[in-house]
Structure formats: structure tokens, C-alpha cells
Chain A
Amino acid sequence: MGDHRVIIVGAGPAGVRAAQAVVRAGLRPIVIDEAARAGGQIYRRPPENFQRDHEALYGTEAARARAIHEDFAALLPHIDYRPETLVWNVAEGHVWAAHEGETQAIPYDALIVCSGASDRVAPIKGWQAAGCYSLGGAQIALKAQGCAIGHRVIFLGSGPLLYLAAAQYVKAGAEVAAVLDTSPFWLRVKAAPKLAAMPGLLWQGMKLLGDLKRAGVPVLTGVTPVEIEGDTQSGVSGVTVRHKGAVKHFAGDAVAMGWHVKPEAQIADLARATFAFDPATRQWLPQTDADGRAGNALYLGGDGARVLGARSAEVTGELAAMAALADLGLTVDADRRRWLLAEKANYATFAKGLAQAFPWPHELVAAIPDEAIVCRCEAVTAANLRASVNTAHAQEANRAKAFSRVGMGRCQGRYCGHASAEIIAAARSVSLEKTGRLRGQAPIKPIPVSLKRNDL
């Protein structure tokens, strides 16, 4: 039974719980993680010699963070742990993992991908200025390095992370110039019944808002971003928005922006998961059954499958592992599985509430001015992209990419893919679904030409 080869990608809350389930079944999984230390993005750990404790780093989530870190430490003798290792491709039943300039093909019988989420960002005119970060990036600076992204930071976007990151900055002693939310407040009221599926989380969100107001941070809802001001020499100097019919300007030297997060589904894509369009969140998502099966010995857990949050990731990571174990012919605890599925359903209701309360601002994106840059890697403007549709007759996302280079750069469309699809759909006057999905290609993240195989 030790012959079953199980690979888990990711050591965040989902990956850790998946590894635990696999070890409990008597197997020794390979756990591959890009980070130097386990914890994922949300429970990201600073380098070993940093002094801040869990309470300072993770606030209300300190107990959960500690549990994940300690449980993972206890797993170490029972797993083949490969930190600082990039999965850059998946092909023919092998994961291609790169570490310190070398790579190897690792065969698997079950591949459990817990690849987490990354920021969903909307392009704003001027967002290419130095000093613009994603909300996640702003948090990483704080959690991993104990530093802020600027002296006076403007938070722009929507979703729970907007308030969490801003509150964390306030708590860490950084100056927060404003929190600018594109979602109108009444949507939150409307979504309240769904959000009540997780009363604890709803309460936490309200407490964050209270913390910000007490600190004297202006919090504006229902804003329309106009421009991020700045220049190539000194970077960001401020943000202009429209709010309740008035133009408002906030000075600052850094912007943290994001509209919730989205699955990092690139590995699932290369492992040939099928994708379907999700109208509620306006994006293409990898398809799984309730347990996380995606077919072809692929299992998805955590936010890498559906963004349901860190707590849910612990549930869905374990579920995905149980599905893999069951498919390998091992016995799994049916009662435990039922309980996990019920938990997952609660988180899914809450996530629907979040999507309703803090929607992706697709109308703003579609109406972005021509001169604004959509794809920062390749400096493609909205005008370039619209021309690929109107002049060169690109009818869907991959074609627009081929003609305009949108999504062709270093991020491979991670940060412009959703926005460019909205712009293409608007330019063609068709539904977003009709613009299709950017086909995924290796490498998952850039690899050097110097990369050498060490398994031949």
C-alpha cells in the first residue's frame, strides 16, 4: 500500500490538511511548495529569525495559523517535503518540479493540487506606476518582511481582504490614507442573509470596519476610480475617485488594490481539468465533483478550486485527499466525509454572499478609458486591445492575445486576463462567456533557460 504515489502541491491550509489525511491513511506523500516555509499566503511565515509572534502576525486568525504550522511540523517525519520548489509543468502523469536550477519529472498516481488564490485586480488608469501593489502583495510585505508598501497607503478595490489588509496596516502603525470600495454599501445589506451562514466571519468583518473608523481612516463605498496619479520617476502620488457625484482626491505614495481573489488554476489547467464559466463571479473555473475530483487522477482543494476562504480550505483540502485515497482503493471515514461536505456547503453559501456584497466591477472595467494600460507586462492599452477586436476582428480572448500581446507577458494573463475578457466582450457586445478562456501554457511561472534535468 506504500506503493501509491501521492503528490500534494501547496502547503497552505488546504495542502496541510490534505497531507495530514494522506499520512493518516499510511502513505508518504510528496508535498511540494513554492515557499520556504509552510502556511500558504494567509498563514505565510516570516523568515526563521524574525521575532513577531502569531498574535501580532495573524490577529484573530492566530490560533488557526498556529494549528496549521504546528500540525505541519508534526507531519515532517512522515512526508517527503520539498519547499522552495516550483511545479512548472504537468504532463503524462508526471509533475515537473524545479528547485535550485534543477528539475525532475515526478510520477504520480494521485495529484492533489492546493494551489491557493491570487488577487483579482481590475486595471485603473495609471496603475502601472511604481508603488501599486495588489492587496495580497501589500499583506506579504507586512507578514513576511514586517514592512509597509509605502508611508501613506491608499487601499482601493472591494471585498473582505480590502478591509482586512487596511486594518492590518493600521495595526502595524502604517498610515492609511483611505479605504476606497467600489461596491455600494446597500449590496452588503442585501447579501446579509447569505453572509449570516458564517456569523463569526460576518462579525469579524464588522469589527474590522469599526477598527478602521476608530483610527480615523476615511472609508468610502460605491466609488468610481478615475485615476492613479504618479510618474515614472517617483511613482504613485495619489488616487482620484468619483464618489456621490463629487470628485475626490487622496494623496499617498502607495496603492494596495484588489477585488477579492481568484483561484490559481494554472496547474489544474495543465493537468487537463475541464473549465466552466461561472456567471456569479464572471470567470472560468476548474470543474470538480463535491469532493474535489477533477478527473485524470487530479484532485483540487482549497481556494485553488473555488475561493471559499482559508477556513474552508482546511475542509476542502481534506476532502480532496479523501477522494484521492478512496479512488486508490483505501478506506475513508464516511461520517467524517459527510461532516466535511456539510461544512463546505456552509462556506459556499457565505462565499455567494461575499460575491454579491463585493462584486467584481465589470462595468467599470469594460468602460476603462482607451489610454489606460490593461496588460502591464506588455504595456497593452485598452485602445490596443479594442483595436484587435474592431480592426483585426479578434472574436475571443486567445485571438486578442495573439494580435495585441495582452496576457502574453511575464504574468501570463494572471492579472489582466479577467479584465481583458471584459473589454473584449464589451467591444463585441457579446456575453463574457463568449469571449472564451485564455488557454494555459507552461511554465506555471518563469523558468530559466539554464534549468537542467537531474533525473536522467
Chain B
Amino acid sequence: MTQIHQSDVAIIGGGLMGCSAALFLRQRGMSVTLLETDKVGRQASGTNFGNVRRQGRPIFQLPLANRAIRIWRDSPQLLGADVEYLQSGHIRVCFRNRPENIGKMEEYAALAREEGLDLELMSANALREKFPWLGPDVLAGSYSATDGHANPRLAAPAFARAAARLGASIVEDTKIVHAEKVGEDFRLTAEDGRQFAAPILLITAGAWAGKIAGWFGEEIPLTPRAPTMSVTEPVPYAIAPAVGVMTPDEVETVYFRQVARGNIVLGGSTRAQSYPDDYRSYVLPQNTMTQFQHLRRLAPALANLQVIRVWSGIEGYTDDALPIMGPSAKVSGLFHAFGFSGSGFQIGPGVGETMAELIATGATDIPLEHYAVTRFAK
């Protein structure tokens, strides 16, 4: 007879959400099995830009983002590992052709202040005085001194290792091909026949999560997309803040940051399709070219640098670009945290802690109503 691996909570999906949830569930004394098809933190969690940015998020998301920022600050002690978190600031700028954004920035700053996020609005001249590498196309900006960036390649695996040290079972290279609720337990079957059971199931499977939720009768439309990322050769460290553009036009949404090692990570502009079933995503060269074009507007000095590598990953997008987070509407004991739509990295550890709190205590102070799965009910 097949031995069934039993625990209090089973998690499907070893991204930043799943790995941090595993850690915080262990801190609350629950036994956890995290199941990952590939290696932890390899897809959206490991290939994203690495922005630890609160500004620009919906105001109602700031309590979650604030919770996350505390974890990022404590991460060296919490994880026993350096995930290269730098609280070195974040600038959000608007281009000259979109002056209407200045008003929006002012409005946003006023509301953000009520949620504990202080933003400094800066004119073009003031910005260039402080950040002389910004281009003449930059009209104004909003500076957040307490945002920053971290290394996505290191973050989720570090959470997984910390969870494992506390006793979580982190099971990689294990693809769950079937899940159902049998009596009190969720029964999960891996491709090779291994079985896992738990009374609580948390789905944190990113672009793959829609399929798993579908096994439980919850139809959630997710679109798999692939970000356009690039990195330059290392140059002397000179740019502290992460920089991004506020614009309604996707092709203009470029951003960059310099890592302590000196390389400048470039991201944004058009995203490509990705292929979750094949576990593949590709950077389209035409997107790399529009990315360069708009980065030259943002910071003309970057034009002289050489890009040594591009990459992408597989991200799951919902139709309204907000995640699904909270309990299932159909099956008791089932929880969701996925569909972060390219904006999950900063809030990731906060999501893990909030889901752990919700699962362990049945409640959380973090407002989740905007993320309810019921908004997709037909």
C-alpha cells in the first residue's frame, strides 16, 4: 500500500508566496508540506525585476505591503541568509508627454501618507539635481526613501531553507497531477504516484494555479505572460534607488535598478506570451528593443552600457491585475494566493505571513476583500 505523507497544511507551488507561507505556518506550529513541480523560486519569483516597492500599489494594498516591508527589513535574521535587500529608495517618474500624471501622483501621495508611506514629490529640476542621470524627458517624480530592491534569485530559496530548518517538508521535483477532497482531507497525487494528504490546502502555484483551482470547481481565468528582463555588465555603483515610469501605456513602463555588484537590471516594456505547460518562456527581441528605446528616454546615460543577458519567466495574470488571496468560495479548507500579475515580489513575504495567520487563526487584519475569488464567479 502506498504510504501517504500527512501534514496539517499542504502547499502546492514553491514560489515566494508558498515558501514564505511555509515558514510562517511553521512559526505558528503547524506541520507543512510544500510541493513544487520544479525547484523552489524558479519561475515568476526568481525571474522578476526584484522591486521591493510599495509606491504605486493600490492604496488598499498598502497594509499588506507594509507588513511585507517589515519582513524584508528583518530578512537577514529571519532567514539566516543575505537576499541582497537594499532599502535604497524608489523613484516613480512621469514623462513630459503625460503631465496629467503629476496630479495623480499628488493625489496618490496624500492617500499613501495616511497608510504610513511617505512620498516626496519632486520637480524635474529637483530630481535631476539629486539624480543627474535622469533624462530631459522626465517631467516629475515621486520619491520613496523607504522602498528598495532585493535579489529574486535568492529570496524564495532562502525562505524555503528557513522553513525547512523549522521542520517544513520542502518537496521539489514533484508535480501534483491530481487533487481532491476525500472526507476531511485533501488528497494529492504526484506524477510518480506518491500521495500527500492534509486537511488544509493552500494553492500558491502562480500561472499554474488556475488549473489546480479548476479541480475544485473554481474557474479562474489566468493569462500566462513573460516579462522582458535584461542586465548590463557591471559598472561602478552609482544609482541607489530603483527607478520606474508611471504611464498607462505598457510599452513605456520601463524600470531599472543597480545591484551592489554594479550590474544594472533593466525591465519592462511589452510582455510576451509564456508557456506554463512546457515550462518555457522566451524574451522576444522586439520587446528588448522597445525596452531599450524607452530606457534611453528615462536615463540616457544607460545607452553606453552593454547588455550581457536577457531572461524571462512565467507569471500568472488575472483580468483585473489583482491577486486572488483568501479562502476558496467552494471548498472548506482550501485557500488561494496566486495571480499576482507581475506585482507580487514586494508583498510576497507579507502574503505568506497573512495566509499563515488566516489559516492558523481563521482571521487577519489585512484587508482581503479586493482579492476575493468570488469576483470571478459568473
Contact = CB atoms under 8 A, between A and B. Distances in A.
A450 B309 contact: no
Given A449-B232, A451-B289, A91 B282 contact: yes
Interface stretch (B11-19, B174-182, B184-192, B300-308): B300-308
Nearest to B287: A91
B310 A443 contact: yes
B22 interface: no
Interface stretch (B56-64, B120-128, B291-299): B291-299
Contacts of B306: 410, 446-449
B368 interface: no
B228 to A, nearest CB: 11
A409 B289 contact: no
Contact of B304 (A378, A409, A410, A450): A450
A443 B74 CA distance: 37
B234 to A, nearest CB: 8
Contacts of B149: none
A100 interface: no
A403 interface: yes
Contact of A402 (B46, B161, B282): B46
A449 B288 CA distance: 9
A105 B284 CA distance: 11
B271 to A, nearest CB: 15
Interface string A362-398: 0000000000000000100000000000001101000
B239 interface: no
A91 B293 contact: no
Given A412-B308, A441-B310, A451 B285 contact: no
B303 A403 contact: no
A333 interface: no
B289 A103 contact: yes
A412 B284 contact: no
A296 B292 CA distance: 29
Interface string A399-417: 1001101001110100000
Contacts of B309: 408, 412, 441-443
B358 interface: no
A443 B46 CA distance: 20
B75 to A, nearest CB: 15
A455 to B, nearest CB: 10
Contacts of B211: none
Given A89-B285, A449-B292, A450-B296, A441 B304 contact: no
Given A442-B283, A449-B295, A393 B161 contact: yes
**Best-surrounded residue of B39, B233, B293, B304 (most CB of chain A within 10 A):** B39
A416 to B, nearest CB: 14
B10 to A, nearest CB: 21
B46 to A, nearest CB: 7
Contacts of B153: 402-403
Given A392-B157, A453-B289, A446 B304 contact: no
A399 B310 contact: no
B77 interface: no
B154 interface: yes
Interface in B194-237: 232-233
B300 to A, nearest CB: 9
A107 to B, nearest CB: 13
Interface string B258-297: 0001000010000000000000001111101100110110
Contacts of A442: 283, 285, 288, 309-310
A70 interface: no
Interface in A428-456: 441-443, 446-453
A96 interface: yes
Interface string B21-58: 00000000000000000010000001000000000000
Please report whether the interface of chain A is mostly helix, strand, loop or mixed according to DSSP.
loop
B311 interface: yes
Contact of A409 (B292, B308, B310): B308
Interface string A49-77: 00000000000000000000000000000
A92 B46 CA distance: 25
A105 B285 contact: yes
Nearest to B286: A105
B284 A91 contact: yes
A442 B296 CA distance: 20
Nearest to A90: B285
B212 to A, nearest CB: 25
B46 A96 contact: no
Interface in A285-316: none
A369 B130 CA distance: 46
B305 A448 contact: yes
Contacts of B283: 441-442
A63 B298 CA distance: 55
B298 to A, nearest CB: 11
Contacts of A399: 39
Contact of A449 (B39, B282, B304): B304
Interface string B97-122: 00000000000000000000000000
Given A91-B284, A442-B285, A452-B293, A403 B157 contact: yes
Interface string A87-110: 011011010100000010100000
Nearest to B46: A402
A293 B83 CA distance: 44
A446 B292 contact: no
B307 A448 contact: yes
Contacts of A392: 157, 161
A405 B84 CA distance: 13
Nearest to B292: A449
A447 B296 contact: no
Contacts of A409: 233, 308
Nearest to B303: A450
A451 B282 contact: no
Contacts of B295: 449
A395 B170 CA distance: 15
B313 to A, nearest CB: 12
Interface of B: 39, 46, 153-154, 157, 161, 232-233, 261, 266, 282-286, 288-289, 292-293, 295-296, 302-311
21 contacts: A89-B288, A91-B284, A103-B289, A105-B286, A392-B161, A393-B157, A399-B39, A402-B46, A402-B154, A403-B157, A412-B309, A441-B310, A443-B308, A446-B233, A448-B304, A448-B305, A449-B295, A449-B304, A449-B307, A450-B292, A451-B289
Interface of A: 88-89, 91-92, 94, 96, 103, 105, 378, 392-393, 395, 399, 402-403, 405, 408-410, 412, 441-443, 446-453
Given A392-B157, A393-B161, A408-B309, 12 more contacts: A89-B285, A91-B284, A91-B285, A103-B289, A402-B46, A402-B154, A403-B153, A441-B310, A442-B309, A446-B307, A447-B307, A449-B302
Give 7 nearest A-B pairs by CB, closest first.
A446-B306, A450-B303, A402-B153, A89-B285, A96-B285, A449-B302, A449-B303
